[in-house]
Structure formats: structure tokens, C-alpha cells
Amino acid sequence: MTSTTPSASQTAEAVHPGSLDRLLFGDNQFFGINHMSEERARVQAMRFQDIDAINAVLDAAHDEGVRTFMCTTHDRIEQIIEHVRSDEERQTGFSFLPCMPYAHKYANAMTEDGPVAAIRRFLPRNGLVDAALRGGRSLATKDIEGITTLLIDAELKMFEEVRTPAVFLQNIVVDLLLGLGFDEAFRVFHDHVRDRYGAEAGFITMNAPMLLPALERVGIERPLLCANINKVGFRMSGGIDSYQELLEAGRCRMIAMSVFASGAISAEEAIEWVCAQPNITSIVFGASSRANIRNPRELVERHWPSTVPY
């Protein structure tokens, strides 16, 4: 990554709780994901087959002041990065929050290119030999840490020249590791993202009340979590009361997703409720038009004034 990403020596500054924007823009709508309507997801997927349509929405978000993009490591994200980098003003004020891994990417590469070519496609540009040796030694000795760090580097390859203040482990992996009791893997991810990229490690989960103690057991204090947080308890495993207890305890910083409960709550009611919760660092939302970006931004400004600490 370029100097736009802090070095390891700047880690303390990079992971300060106030380093993330209050409002983050998500990517579900671009890749046909809608938790309430399969038909709407299909329509959105067709609309955003054209990369220019995605870039137009991101440009609108930028112009509305929403300048952090929380995204998967989908292959098409690389085209979006190139679009951002093509405009110096946008690149300077725009950040990406990668969320890894994107499992379908690996499956498709194996099918299209075969195993050897697929591996070469995802290896980092810099440190190719080091990465190969690290991976080879890992496979020979079953060194999980080496394999894990190799995969992290591969996933972050496309983000080398843009700002990435935080990097997230996707819930599909987080919750699997949690269920297996493999807590140490969280520490490996946390330390590698911090030490190699000067970024904060974040964890996306469907069960934050269960994840937090696991992270604390391996020494990750006040971690950055991303979970469903909404007034009606939509997809909040463990129940809304357990989440409110977690937030009130102040042992983590939370990025709230699914705040609108896939349309079950009005925007005003949803944001007013979320903004009143303690220890919410940011809200992530998706939208496919400028009007649907402006409305949440104005509501956050109204219900979550900048003088409120988080």
C-alpha cells in the first residue's frame, strides 16, 4: 500500500476510535444482496452489472459527504478503486474499508484458471517470493498463522494505493471460527492488519454478545465490531436486550448495520433510535440513488450532532 495508508509506526493514530466516519456506505445493493426481497436483489444486480452505474452512485455519495466505502473484496471492487484513483480530489478524501474474504471469488478463480493460476492471481504484487515461501512453509508445517497472513495479504492486494483505515473479517469466517472455538485466529488477524498495514482490525458478526468475550480472551480490548443493530431486533442473534447490555457496558465500539431492518422501519425512526444508543461508532447503509443517500445523511446530522462523543 502507498503512503496513504499509515505505517506500523503510526498505528496508534490509525486505530483511534474517532478515526472512522460516522456514516459509511455499503456495497450490498451493487452485488444483488437484499435480506428482505429476492426480486429487489435481482433487479439491483441487473442494474449494477455496468460498473459505470456503480461509480455514479459512489460519486453521488462522495458529493453528499459520505466518503467511506465499506466493501467486500469482490473482483469488481478493483475497477471501483481505479475510478477513485483517476480523480485526485476524490482519492484524497475517500477511504475504503475492505471486508474479507469474498468466498465466491476464490471458487470462480479455481474454476476458470485452475489451482496454480488462481493462487498466482491473488498473491500480492510486492513480496511475491516471501509470500510463496511463507505459504509453502505453512503448508509443510501446518502453521495456521502463516497461511492466514498470506490470505490476508492476497485479499488486500487491490487496495495498495488507497486509504484503508480499517480492515474487517467477514461474518462467514468470524462466526465459523467462533463456533469452532478457534479464538487465536482473531488475534492473528488483528495483529497482522495492525502491524503490516497500520490499520485497525474489525470483526463482522451475527452474534456480537458471543463474539466479544472471545476477542477479550485473546487480549483484544474494546474491539471494533460490526453487527445488526436496529429497533426491532431484526437478525440480532441473542436478542435485542443482550445487544443493548453490550453497548451500555462500553467494552467495544460498534458499527451498526441493517439499521433499517431491510425496510421494516422508517428511515427517521431507525436512525433516531440507533443514534441514541451508546458506543455506536458508525452506521453503515446502502443506497442506489442520490436521494436515498442524502436522506440518511441529513437524519444522522439531525439526530447525531458532532458534539456527541463516541
Asked if the bond preceding 101 is cis, omega within 30° of 0, the reply is: yes
User: Among 96-105, 262-271, 289-298, which stretch is predicted with the lowest mean pLDDT?
Assistant: 96-105
Model pLDDT for residues 123-132, shown as the tens digit of each residue: 555 444 455 5
pTM > 0.85: yes or no:
no
Looking at residue 10, what DSSP letter applies? G
- In the chain, the domains with their CATH numbers are 8-102+162-303 (3.20.20.100)
Taking 50 as the threshold, does the pLDDT of residue 28 lie above it? yes
Main-chain dihedrals φ then ψ at residue 155, nearest 5 degrees: -65, -35
Do 179 and 214 form a contact (C-beta atoms < 8 A)?
Answer: no
Q: In 3D, which of 307, 252, 305, 245 has the Cα closest to residue 279?
A: 252
Whole-Å CA distances, 102 to 6, 248, 255: 24, 32, 20
pLDDT for the residue numbered 267: 95
